[in-house]
A and B are shown apart, each in its own frame.
Chain A
Amino acid sequence: MSAAKDYGLIAIAGVLLALLPAATHSNTVINALVTVMIIGLAAQGWNLLAGYGGQFSFGHAAFFGAGAYGNAILQARYGVNAYAAVLLATAIGAAVGATIGYLSFRSGLRGSYFALITLAFAEVFRIIANAAPLTGGSAGTLIKLQVSPQNFQFADRAIYFWIILAFVIAAMLLMRGIERGRFGAYLVAVRENQDAAAALGVDTLTVKLKAITLSAAMTALAGAFYVQYFLFVDASIGFGTWISVEALLAPIIGGLGTVFGPLLGALALHFLGEFAKAVGGRTPGIDLALFGILLVVTVAFARHGLQGLLTRWSAGWRAGRPA
């Protein structure tokens, strides 16, 4: 696909999504859209590391939580300006990513081992955040409600949606750029065969470190924005397994290692969740059980996710036969 066509598609998606708040004034819908975008951004971070780089993290909550707590603590305890706090929190998340990445990649951990150690780091952070005075212990940390654009707080929820949408679109443009650049080629080489890539002169440690740092920064930005929107974080929100799982489910369901995958997947997960609520009523766990089934089915039957299905169908129609 040509560059113009790709960037055009991303722009069209952005414009169409940006028009959504015009169609509704319901806060419930806007809330849902914002949540979908937050997950889409966290998922794009996961997609960079796992979809392109082949390093499957089961603990992206570590980065989401670093961004969320970073933002909340900087504002609530140190009175830092909200915009600066979001930026700093993103940097903190990137630093956490670089540290975890350096420790695990330098020790040569990959595959299941890497998944396990990221899971363990996220759990350690969760236990600490649940007990430490700095994070507010099990009570969590609140940001004071002071609605004013200076505080990155808006009365109109649609503004939050446009901001997070802009982040998501920017992340997609960045991914498209990376995908076709040298860094993207190195990443895919590491994913496909790390030893061969190293033998051909790719500095695999540096490539993986760059990937996890950037990945963590995206996910941390999603966490920081989450706090900015809901003004609250505790250990089970920031470092809970839910975000590790959703950040991984969305790209896999949408299309692993594709620019549109995480966003498609986040939207699909949301509709599936709503469907589960409509069918299962208030029974807890039904939505997540469906997500799990979807994960198994996607891996078993649709390796390239929704994006792959769309491509296959459109190719089928263009050839004059339904796929």
Chain B
Amino acid sequence: MSSPDIWAAVVLNGLMSGAVYALIAVGLTLVYGVLHIINFAHGAMLSAAMFAAYLAYLAGIDPYAAMIPLALVFFGLGYGLQRLVIGPASHGDDQNILLITLGLSIVIENLLLAAFHSDTRSIDVPYGFSTFDLGFTFLALPRAVAFGVSCLVALLLWLLLAHTDTGKAIRAVAKEKLGASLAGIDVVHIYAVTFGLGAACIAIAACLLLPTYYVHPRVGNAYVLVAFTIVVLGGMGSIGGAIAGGLFVGVVESISGLLFGESLGQLGIFVIFILVLLLRPTGLFGARA
């Protein structure tokens, strides 16, 4: 129980799942940072993306091969959703956006339920149970891939934000919407691009999760509450905070799962969430929300 090897394995495992959490949270926090809304449809979109990857698998496409096409498709869907539905329907009012995204999550989740029923499905890929021997523990190949790809996506996203014109425009809109529009930036377009990027992160996360996880119309909810926790923990709108928060929550979950068992480990996340909201709603890293 207390052998260092077990602890190292538990922490490593936590980091692996934490990376995917971080990827989901990055999508959420990016949208929050720019649009200043909490996208309640994030979880339902994750479920939808997992079903998309599942359908691709049924059509004979490996989830990893489907990753880039699905990311592009979901970027388009996210762009359209923000530009055609959320933006116009909310009349620019925050409470309305909250309700619209909640409504969208109800619609997506229940359409999935109507189409696929509540069966739990999973896929069977040849590498599903491949492992590396690290000496002190075995590391599952799909989890290592998930970790690597999540880090790569975070890096790409950072490069995009820091070094491209679109990235500059996104950061400008996040800081000062009116000023950005006076400087000639198309704010409505940037909003939609940001939402699309969030949706693309979700599609990639879905492809990474599918080989080791099951699909279900409500599967996204479990992840998204974790993602909310991470986003609040890392400071709403902070991408670095979301990555650090994701890894932290992954490790905490893994350790509390070892110490207290699965269902109470889940409770631990909510308790952290409530405590952070009550005591430090600006996040542990102090980003102003």
Residues of A within 8 A of B (CB): 54, 56, 58, 103-104, 107-109, 111-113, 115-117, 119-121, 123-124, 127-128, 131, 245, 248, 252, 280, 283-289, 291-296, 299-300, 303
CB within 8 Å for A292 and B110 given contacts A123-B270, A131-B263, A300-B88: yes
Contact for B98 among A56, A128, A300, CB less than 8 A: A56
- For residue B41, which residue of chain A has the nearest CB? A292
Question: Can you name the residue of chain B whose Cβ is closest to the Cβ of A244?
Answer: B102
B179 contacts the other chain (Cβ, under 8 Å)?
no
Q: Does A296 contact B85, Cβ atoms closer than 8 Å?
A: yes
Select B89's contact among A56, A108, A111, A300, beta carbons within 8 Å. A300
- Which secondary structure characterizes the binding site on chain B? helix
A128 and B263 alpha carbons, distance in the complex (Å): 10
Instruction: Report if A289-B106 is in contact (Cβ < 8 Å); known contacts: A116-B38, A296-B89.
Output: yes
Q: List 13 A-B contacts (CB under 8 A).
A: A107-B277, A108-B281, A109-B281, A111-B94, A115-B38, A120-B270, A283-B114, A285-B109, A285-B110, A288-B109, A292-B107, A295-B106, A303-B91
Contact B94 A112 (CB under 8 A): yes
Considering only residues 250-289 of chain B, those with a C-beta below 8 Å from chain A are 263-264, 266-267, 270-271, 273-274, 277-279, 281
Q: Which residues of A contact B278 (CB under 8 A)?
A: 103-104, 107, 109, 117
How many Å from the CB of A125 to the closest CB on chain B? Answer: 10
Q: CB distance A284 to B114 under 8 Å?
A: yes
Contact (Cβ within 8 A) B103 A299: yes
**Complex contacts, B105 vs chain A, CB 8 Å:** 292
Q: Which residue of chain B is the closest to A55 with respect to CB atoms? A: B95
CB distance from B221 to the nearest CB of A (A): 9
CB distance from B203 to the nearest CB of A (A): 22
Chain A contacts for B121, CB-based, 8 A: none
Q: Are A56 and B95 interface neighbours, CB within 8 A? A: yes
User: A285-B217, A289-B111 in contact; A299/B89 too (CB < 8 A)?
Assistant: yes
Contact (Cβ within 8 A) A296 B100: yes
A303 proximity list for chain B (CB < 8 A): 91
Give CA–CA (A252, B107) in the complex, Å.
16
Does B281 lie within 8 Å of A113, measured CB to CB? yes
User: Which residues does chain A contribute within 8 Å of B281, judged by CB atoms?
Assistant: 107-109, 113
- Whether B225 contacts A296 by the Cβ 8 Å rule is no
Evaluate contact between B111 and A124: CB separation under 8 angstroms: no
**Min CB distance, B256 to chain A, in Å?**
14
Task: Flag if B102 contacts A58 (CB, 8 Å).
Answer: yes
Q: Which of B102, B110, B225, B267 contacts A289 (CB 8 A)?
A: B110
A117: chain B residues at CB < 8 Å are: 274, 277-278
Measured between beta carbons, the chain A residues less than 8 angstroms from B264 are 131
* 0 or 1 for each of B33-45: is its CB under 8 Å from A? (1 = yes): 0000110100000
Min CB–CB distance B69 → chain A (angstroms): 27
Give A289's nearest chain B residue, CB to CB: B110
Closest-CB distance, A21 to chain B (whole angstroms)? 32
B104 adjacent to A280 (CB under 8 Å): no
Shortest distance from the beta carbon of B84 to any chain A beta carbon, whole Å: 11
Q: Do A111 and B107 have beta carbons less than 8 Å apart?
A: no
CA gap between A291 and B273 in the complex, in Å = 29
- Given the interface pairs A285-B113, A285-B217, the reply to whether A299 lies near B277 with Cβ below 8 Å is no
B118 contact from A58, A245, A284, Cβ within 8 A: A284
Q: Report which of B90, B106, B107, B217 forms a contact with A299, defined as CB distance below 8 A.
A: B90
The answer to whether B217 and A292 have CB atoms under 8 Å apart is no
A-contact bits for B98-132, CB 8 A (1 contact / 0 none): 11101111110111111001100000000000000
- Within the complex, the shortest CB–CB distance from A297 to chain B, in Å, comes to 8
Known: A284-B117, A296-B85. A121 touches B274 (CB 8 A): yes
Is B79 close to A, CB under 8 A?
no
Given the known interface contacts A283-B114, A299-B90, A300-B88, the answer about A120 and B100 at a Cβ–Cβ threshold of 8 Å is no
Q: Write the nearest CB–CB distance from A294 to chain B, whole angstroms.
A: 8
> Smallest distance from the beta carbon of A198 to chain B beta carbons, Å?
19
Q: Are B38 and A112 in contact (CB under 8 A)?
A: yes
Q: Does B75 contact A (CB under 8 A)?
A: no
Of the candidates B94, B95, B111, B277, which one forms a contact with A285 in the assembled complex, judged by CB atoms under 8 Å apart? B111
Q: Closest chain A residue to B228 by CB distance?
A: A116
Known contacts A120-B277, A127-B263, A292 near B94 by CB under 8 Å: no
B260 to chain A: closest CB distance in Å? 12
B39 smallest CB distance to A (angstroms): 10
Interface centre among A54, A248, A292 (most CB of B within 10 A): A292
Indicate whether A111 sits within 8 Å of B98 (C-beta atoms), given known contacts A280-B114, A288-B110.
yes
**In the assembled complex, B202 has its CB within 8 A of some CB on chain A:** no
6 further A-B pairs in the complex, CB-CB below 8 A; given A112-B98, A245-B106, A286-B114: A113-B277, A116-B38, A117-B277, A127-B266, A288-B106, A292-B107
User: What residues on B are CB-neighbors of A103 within 8 Å?
Assistant: 278
For A131, give the chain B residue with the smallest CB separation. Answer: B263
Which residue from A116, A284, A295 sits with its C-beta under 8 Å from B277?
Answer: A116
Closest 5 CB pairs of A and B: A292-B106, A285-B113, A285-B110, A300-B89, A295-B103
